[in-house]
A and B are shown apart, each in its own frame.
Chain A
Amino acid sequence: MLSIVKLMQGGGLFETGAGGSAPKHVQQLVEQNHLRWDSMGEFCALGESLNFLADSKGNAKAGVLGAAAEVATQGILDHNKSPSRKVGEPDNRDSHYWFARYWADALAAQGDDAEIAAYFAPIAAALTEGEAKILAELAAAQGPAADIGGYFHPDVAKKAAVMRPSATLNAIID
């Protein structure tokens, strides 16, 4: 799932796992607008990458982000927020909402960096308050065929429109 390549010159390469079933996932997205890709590998790699940045560059803020990303990863697992395989059930996009929420909660709650905690407190609140609306917007997108404008070279705007269907979530993130 996660491979850390300790580069011989001191850098870090964080590989995030297998794409073996990726073609079937794309097919399902195009036909049913449901993406069952599990981003767990990306969640783990993100935490490791941020922690590496903290250790290698003495970047304390990155360390705060990294520790909170690990809490968010644990949250996804503990609360069973990984994507389901079936259309109509929570998918990859839902898991990203939950990751953002757990990440923001952890950042708002931590005591190592008050500035970061203050920044994320309203974001965490907005993500919590918006839960029902965001999940409903994500769910509403599923079912019909999705147009991403290509398989190997999808259209960037179309891809973004399909993968970010919650206006409420986008307003918090953008």
Chain B
Amino acid sequence: MTENSNPDILYTIVDEAPELASASFLPIIRKFASAADVSVGTKDISLAGRILAAFPEGLSAEQRQSDDLAELGQLVKTPDANVIKLPNISASVPQLVAAIEELQAQGYDIPSYPEEPATDAEKATRARYDGMEGSAVHPDLREGNSDRRAARAVKNYAQNNPHSMGAWASDSKTKVSSMPGNDFYANEKAATITAAQAGNAKSEFVGKDGAVTLLKDSWPLDAGTIADATFMSAKALGSFLAGAIEDTKADGTMFSLHMKATMMKVSDPIIFGHAVKAWLAPVFDKFGAEMDALGVNANSGMGDLLDRVKDNADIMAAIDAVTGTRPAMYMVDSDKGITNLHVPSDVIIDASMPAVIRAGGKGWDAAGNKGDTNCVIPDRCYATIYDETINFFKANGALDVTTAGSVANVGLMAQKAEEYGSHPTTFEAAADGTIRVVLANGETLHSHEVEAGDIWRACTAKQAPIENWIELALDRQRLTGTEAIFWLDANRAHDAELIKYVTPALKAAGKADLFKIMAPREATAQSLKPSPPVRTALPSPATCCVTTSPICSRSSSWAPQPRCCRS
């Protein structure tokens, strides 16, 4: 079929299983749509497609690909956009390298991934590849806020045909462990930019010697934008992780770490690397130099580490010795010996935590035995959602799928709102010093004293997307007629600024009495509370949650609490 230059619907070409499915399903869609004069075009946003589009230099005319992601990024800013977007790879470095090698083997002349770029050419290549890492697609396409709810047909089916749920025991030892302080939650500072402060801001590192290093230049901040910055202390993280490992052992449970390394592609692999180092601390203490020489990078995971040290009998023996003293480890694949710490992108919090919760708080250990697990989620911004959910199930048992409601979700994400932990506004401090945000007018907006290794991140949410998000929430509340909750924590700097938008907007709409503003923990508890009259009277969502959470609003997977995107 020839491609209509301006099709009614655009279907995305992606990766892996969903793309295989499209090979069968898309011809059916096109056949049926053509009967109604509806044209269906495609845009290639697959990882391979993006690589080929980025490196046309060595490719023949037939091999070259247009930059469909950029075209789609423009299209979503037009009123005509109608895009069906399937899940695509949020590439980790190992996946990116594998894709490059496959394309090279297929005869595509593209550069290899420069692991340690030295020359300008290598640095330029690396920069192009860095742009494809993680969830590179979503920020470009999400020119709107999200409106998520269970499809009626699917919810009806789930209630009539309940899937199995693991039983929750009141004495379950499964729990969530988070840092007591000095995490992103504790250190956050936020402000709403005034007209006098608007313009190109920058972030910079000031060393103990006063030398200033530019981290990010030309960072446009409009008036009305909420700009925040925070950091996680590497030392505090390290001691927390060491403690969590010991605590897990004392509990007799499995150690598990739940991160989102695919999306928070700078911060989360570093946190993951700290966990690898904490787990193998005696090995790193003794063989640090040797492992460095072998190219070990803890952030790449235990799988890569083992591959690099496998021929060094001393290190392998030391790893075996340490492993013998550790608690059980939560496994990704018990049969193949893939641990939680093998690959940073294997355990993704918004899929892994619901799986643990749905299984009655269980994970699987190396021997394939089911057991309770200590779910380590270092930062507290959203860990409380899972903690509260687990507490609820311990006290009340699992939800009954035949009667459980669902929670519609309106998420803030337009124009890169709430994008943090990824390039280019997240940095690992190279030394002790200060990281600050300096505004166009020269004023310092935020400043943090950091130590070497601390993870600093900044994030913005623009005014128009915030206002659009509140309007969507009002719409959704009106359509569902249920209680609606803004999941905002007045004690968190960023959320406190958002509340300054939300409260007057609700009042102006005359709807303040229909909404609550609750911190994620309290909102979780409220959403899990049984509400019998609602269930029978209303097959639609039992509550409506309005969130900024990267977990609830931006993931394409399950939302944090089991009723949210269940079924």
Contacts and interface: CB of A to CB of B under 8 A. Distances in A.
Given A3-B148, A7-B144, A8-B468, A152 B47 contact: yes
A159 B29 contact: no
A44 interface: yes
A35 B25 CA distance: 13
Interface string B128-161: 0000000000000111111111110110110001
Interface stretch (B10-18, B233-241, B526-534): B10-18
Contacts of B156: 77
Interface residues of A, number: 77
B212 to A, nearest CB: 37
B153 A7 contact: no
B48 interface: yes
A41 B29 CA distance: 14
A50 interface: yes
A45 to B, nearest CB: 5
Contact of B98 (A21, A40, A152): A152
Interface string B13-50: 01111111111110111011101111000000011100
B359 to A, nearest CB: 15
Interface stretch (B78-86, B449-457, B499-507, B543-551): B78-86
Contact residues of A: prevailing secondary structure: helix
B87 interface: yes
B112 interface: no
Given A1-B154, A50-B38, A64-B36, A29 B20 contact: yes
B23 A8 contact: no
A42 B86 contact: yes
Q: Which of B9, B23, B154 has the most CB of A within 10 A?
A: B23
A104 B98 CA distance: 41
A6 B9 contact: no
Nearest to B141: A13
A4 B556 CA distance: 11
Interface in B99-115: 99, 102-103, 106
Interface string A89-111: 00011001001100110010000
B79 A61 contact: no
A65 interface: yes
A87 interface: no
A129 interface: no
**B27, B47, B77, B415: most-surrounded residue (chain A CB, <10 A):** B27
Contact of B82 (A25, A44, A53, A70): A53
Interface in A1-54: 1-23, 25-26, 29, 35, 37, 39-42, 44-46, 49-50, 52-53
Contacts of B414: 8
A159 B14 CA distance: 13
B332 to A, nearest CB: 10
Contact of A164 (B24, B76, B102, B141): B24
B21 A39 contact: yes
Contacts of A46: 29, 84
Given A3-B556, A6-B472, A73-B153, A65 B32 contact: yes
B38 A8 contact: no
Contact of A16 (B29, B47, B84): B84
A65 B36 CA distance: 8
B465 interface: yes
B154 to A, nearest CB: 6
B88 interface: yes
Nearest to B83: A13
B351 interface: yes
A52 B81 CA distance: 10
Contact of B146 (A3, A77, A173): A3
Given A12-B82, A152-B47, A19 B17 contact: yes
A44 B36 contact: no
B89 interface: yes
B8 A53 contact: yes
A8 B468 CA distance: 8
A78 B156 CA distance: 10
A96 B88 CA distance: 20
Interface string A148-166: 1011111000011011100
Given A2-B148, A10-B79, A153 B21 contact: no
Most A Cβ at <10 Å: residue of B8, B150, B156, B161: B8
Given A6-B147, A59-B8, A37 B84 contact: no
A59 B33 CA distance: 12
Contact of A13 (B19, B81, B157): B81
A152 B15 contact: yes
A9 B77 contact: yes
Nearest to A19: B87
Contact of B17 (A15, A26, A113): A26
B21 A11 contact: no
A11 B151 contact: no
A135 interface: no
Interface in A124-174: 148, 150-154, 159-160, 162-164, 173-174
Contacts of A62: 8, 36, 38
Contacts of A5: 141-147, 413
B557 interface: yes
The 4 closest A-B CB pairs, nearest first, are A11-B81, A19-B87, A61-B36, A18-B557
9 contacts: A5-B143, A15-B556, A25-B17, A65-B33, A70-B153, A77-B156, A80-B161, A152-B48, A153-B102
Interface of A: 1-23, 25-26, 29, 35, 37, 39-42, 44-46, 49-50, 52-53, 56-57, 59, 61-62, 64-65, 70, 73-74, 77-78, 80, 92-93, 96, 99-100, 103-104, 107, 113, 116, 119-120, 148, 150-154, 159-160, 162-164, 173-174
Given A3-B556, A163-B21, A174-B31, 6 more contacts: A19-B87, A25-B17, A53-B8, A53-B82, A80-B161, A153-B46
Interface of B: 8-9, 14-25, 27-29, 31-33, 35-38, 46-48, 75-89, 98-99, 102-103, 106, 141-151, 153-154, 156-157, 161, 348, 351, 413-415, 464-465, 468, 472, 555-558, 565, 567
